[in-house]
Structure 1
Amino acid sequence: MAYSTGKSAVITGAGSGIGRALAQQLNREGCALFLGDVDTGGLAETVASLEHKDAPVVQQQVDVSDKAAVDRWAATIAEQQLAVDIVVNNAGVAYSARVDECNYDDVQWLMGVNFWGVVHGTMAFLPLLKAAPQGHLVNISSIFGMIGVPTQSAYNAAKFAVRGYTEALRMEMAGSNVHICCVHPGGVGTNIARRSRGGPADVSADEKAALFDQHVRTSAESAAAQIIAAVAKRKPRLILGPDAKFINLLSRLFPVSYPRFMPGLGKVGRDEPA
């Protein structure tokens, strides 16, 4: 029997990518699901793809950048059950631009989803996790939460913030029944690049996706399996993917000079998409 069998999980960003893969695997293991995403079409496709039709699934359109919406979602779930076993703050977006060319509204949009979405989800669902025999909170940062990358200042800022926020929370929850895990994926096969903002105006969504795919080292399904295994083993941190492990090592050995060991990193600039 899998660790998640008979448990319940909340997943944001469940309409595609890692969120969908997590839903599919947890559903196969007999875990009840509460799935949220701003994209109702993608969310419906995720639900339709689930194999274990007898396992409970509830879907909810929710914009994680909207605190009131996330609070209402958590309150609705609390009306149905006293506790939740697993919460994965997975929803994320991307924006590429040099700092001196950033659009403030786009930066605010990214921070609203990638950082505040994690804060909103954490604060709204922490009471339900505390009420579980063993609660698990998983916040998705990025390997870009460990290194800076040209044209990714907003994304870096959000993911560094998620890392710091989650690590502080982990220390606060030490000795409690709530396990905290921060996940740092490298290149994972998702739709984040296709749906991103910014970058050269003459590059289409398909071209963005093709450029991103060149850096993919881990499938969404493999990422989900590793995250679920990290939950079962109560890991405090998960460096996800061979590229992320390599970059993490470089950043630890060479905290200032790591760009010298990463060909192309310093060349990402005005006319070259990240």
Structure 2
Amino acid sequence: MSNYKNKVVVITGAGSGIGQELAMQFAAKGAILALNDWNEEALNQTWEILPEEARGQKAAFDVGDRQSVEGFAQRVRKGLGRVDIVINNAGMSVQQTPVIYSEVEQYERVIQINLWGVIYGSLAFLPYLREREEGGCLVNISSVFGLFGFPGSAPYNVSKFGVRGFTETLRVEMRSTNLQVVCVHPGGIKTNIAENIEYDSEAEKKRFVNTFNKQAKTTAAEAARVIIDGISRGRSRVLIGSDARFIDKITRLMPASYERILTRWLKPERFLAPPK
């Protein structure tokens, strides 16, 4: 799919970051957008910067709410008449915590948004995507944390590995159809995800945000461009950033030994200490 004129594109998490950039870039290509974000103010800000002809529908809700997702899908199909591309982009994370000190609630919240949100969105829109004779496209955003186990981030890792597993399974099942199923693995992207994490202390949050921003290699605009290019080229798997490409290579070439390299780099003994 390369001509996006009048195509209906659904994007969750469109209030900032990659989602906002996707909305702007698809709008520039003539697409009609159906946008979501949990933050209504941020969603409205994205909406206002779009050309009027690109504004299809918008709705502020939590993608972890199944009824809201299903209702949104029905309204988009009824109101806009078709669904061509769905990008399940919304996601969140929590404070880095060693597994031995982590709490069940951390997993429940992250998995509800990052994994169930993707599953809800995929299942709700799949019937409408499959209506397209020329082929629809479903894009689910995983992460490099869906490629390797990063210490201190178990809830996020679990959710992103889950997105990968769900998407790859669906892709195999859809190989005999005209539905394009894409799994995206961004590396470090300069977005607000780190700033939206709740920390016990402002000092610890500031330290983490500063570290994240130094390590983030790719802008949200570039990430969106790579995703759209991947859709246009018919890709089923999209890696974003040199860090993502490196991690993908090392985990595929050394699936049983990359952990030794990771532990030498990260000094894992610090993940046995209680969080500050």
TM-score (norm 2): 0.92
What corresponds to 2:82 in structure 1? 83
Pairwise mapping of residues 100-115 of structure 1 onto structure 2 (< 5 A)? 100-115=100-115
1:20 and 2:24 are equivalent in the alignment = no
Residue 19 to residue 68, structure 1, CA distance change in 2 (3 Å): same
What corresponds to 2:156 in structure 1? 155
Distance in 2 separating the partners of 1:82 and 1:29: 19
Q: Secondary structure at the match of 1:214?
A: helix
Q: Is the 8 A contact 1:82 1:131 kept in 2?
A: no
What corresponds to 1:57 in structure 2? 56
Distance in 1 separating the partners of 2:274 and 2:143: 21
Residue 4 to residue 266, structure 1, CA distance change in 2 (3 Å): farther
Structure 2 alignment gaps of length 5 or more? none
Distance in 2 separating the partners of 1:257 and 1:204: 32
What corresponds to 1:240 in structure 2? 240
Q: Secondary structure at the match of 1:26?
A: helix
What corresponds to 1:120 in structure 2? 120
What corresponds to 2:211 in structure 1? 211
Distance in 2 separating the partners of 1:117 and 1:193: 19
Cα offset, 1:205, TM superposition: 4.1
Given residue 93 of structure 1, which amino acid in structure 2 is its aligned partner?
Answer: M
The superposition leaves residues 137-193 of structure 1 with CA deviations (integer Å, 9 ceiling, x where unpaired) of 000000110100111111111111110100000011112121000000100111111
What corresponds to 1:143 in structure 2? 144
Number of residue pairs the alignment of both structures matches: 271
Q: Is the 8 A contact 1:70 1:121 kept in 2?
A: yes
- Structure with greater proportional helix content: 2
1:269 and 2:271 are equivalent in the alignment = yes
1:47 and 2:51 are equivalent in the alignment = no
Distance in 2 separating the partners of 1:54 and 1:32: 7
Given residue 120 of structure 1, which amino acid in structure 2 is its aligned partner?
Answer: Y
What corresponds to 1:190 in structure 2? 191
Structure 1 alignment gaps of length 5 or more? none
Distance in 2 separating the partners of 1:227 and 1:203: 35
Q: Secondary structure at the match of 1:88?
A: strand
Given residue 119 of structure 1, which amino acid in structure 2 is its aligned partner?
Answer: I
Distance in 1 separating the partners of 2:234 and 2:149: 28
Distance in 2 separating the partners of 1:153 and 1:92: 15
Cα offset, 1:206, TM superposition: 4.0
Distance in 2 separating the partners of 1:42 and 1:271: 37
Distance in 2 separating the partners of 1:231 and 1:33: 16
Q: Is the 8 A contact 1:38 1:63 kept in 2?
A: yes
Cα offset, 1:103, TM superposition: 2.2
Distance in 2 separating the partners of 1:41 and 1:206: 24
What corresponds to 1:32 in structure 2? 32
Task: Give the RMSD, CA atoms, in angstroms.
Answer: 2.0
What corresponds to 1:71 in structure 2? 70
Larger displacement relative to structure 2 (181-190 or 259-268): 259-268
Q: Secondary structure at the match of 1:54?
A: helix
Residue 271 to residue 35, structure 1, CA distance change in 2 (3 Å): farther
Distance in 2 separating the partners of 1:225 and 1:271: 40
Distance in 2 separating the partners of 1:265 and 1:4: 43
Distance in 2 separating the partners of 1:271 and 1:231: 43
Distance in 2 separating the partners of 1:79 and 1:3: 23
Cα offset, 1:99, TM superposition: 1.2
What corresponds to 1:221 in structure 2? 221
Distance in 2 separating the partners of 1:259 and 1:89: 30
Distance in 1 separating the partners of 2:256 and 2:203: 32
What corresponds to 1:169 in structure 2? 170
Sequence identity (%): 38
Q: Secondary structure at the match of 1:137?
A: strand
Cα offset, 1:270, TM superposition: 5.3
Given residue 84 of structure 1, which amino acid in structure 2 is its aligned partner?
Answer: V
Distance in 2 separating the partners of 1:102 and 1:89: 27
Given residue 122 of structure 1, which amino acid in structure 2 is its aligned partner?
Answer: S
